[in-house]
Amino acid sequence: MPINIAVTDLEYRKAYEIFSRQTRFNCLCAPTPENELADFIRKNAVVRVIVGVEKYTGELYRALPPGAVIARFGVGHDGIDKKLAGRNGLFCTNTPGALNDSVAECAIALMLACARELNQCAVESKANIWQSHVGLELKGKTLTIIGCGAIGRETARMAKSGFGMRTVGYDLSDAGAAAFVSLHIPDLPSTRNFINHERLGLIPGGAILINTARGNIVDEDALYDALVRRRLKAAGLDVFKNEPYIPQSPGKDLRTLANVLMTSHIASSTGEACGRMAESALRNIQLRTEDKISEMNLINRQEIDIETSCRSL
């Protein structure tokens, strides 16, 4: 009999064709909120679960038996409590490499849109305001990549090979030359509000900031101030501290600024990337079923007693 897998509803819909045609597993569309997901797991005898970016803090880990799997549909895993999962004997995985191209392309798209002021042009044109905007070319400009992991490196490759940009890794001593700064660092205690008043002051006036990484790495109030004062030309933002977006302070609503382009955390949402993430998550689950733990993309390897957990289920 196929193993039941709970797939949170947004992720199920993103890769419906893959999840619905499984024969080795019975993929069930499940609610995303933690308490509802935990109830669903218990009612449907689920021992494997695939989740998105939602933050899970307690009940999920108690609902699954030791030896079960929490498979992240994506790369960033700040929403999963690895220590709590490990204490409960749960294997946690992610899907590295599956979304590199999609996120890098989105970062480039935001750069282009901000450089040519396409957001403002689109709003004005629809309002029958026919107004010329003088933008920037990407060719020959310097792009500073903050976070030179796989996605950051792919963004740099696209910028250099496709647009003739000069690319540098994170080095704020070189920030004076940067026309664009693209963020690709994870959300960790050490990176919270990494882009703050001080670091924004090191970025040259007139630069464009792009964030397709995580909302918590940017002090949104500091960013608002920099944009209002024209310390930055513009910002292209796909991620926010609160999603859907909620201003951090009264009177500092990024939505009110014409030089801010906002999207709804869609950098990895392409059909191609969603398919790869689904296949990778299912592969991790299959490897657990076959006890090939060393081949899994474990993100809590340090927090779990692998041998004991393997015997539990």
Q: Which of 48, 72, 77, 265 is catalytic?
A: 265
Strand order in the sheet with 207-211: 166-169, 142-146, 178-183, 207-211, 232-237, 260-262
Burial class (CB in 10 A: 0-12, 13-18, 19+), 168: middle
Instruction: In whole angstroms, give the CA distance from residue 304 to residue 309.
Output: 8
Q: Which of 77, 214, 276, 288 is catalytic?
A: 214
Q: Is 184 a catalytic residue?
A: no
Q: Which of 36, 137, 198, 243 is catalytic?
A: 243
What number of other Cβ atoms are within 10 A of residue 157's Cβ? 12
Strands 166-169 and 142-146, how do they pair? parallel
The dihedral sign for the CA sequence 70, 192, 201, 220 = positive
Peptide bond into 244 cis (omega under 30): yes
Q: Is 283 a catalytic residue?
A: no
Question: What six digits make up the tokens of 25?
Answer: 């597993």
Q: Is 229 a catalytic residue?
A: no
Please list the active-site residues.
Answer: 214, 243, 265
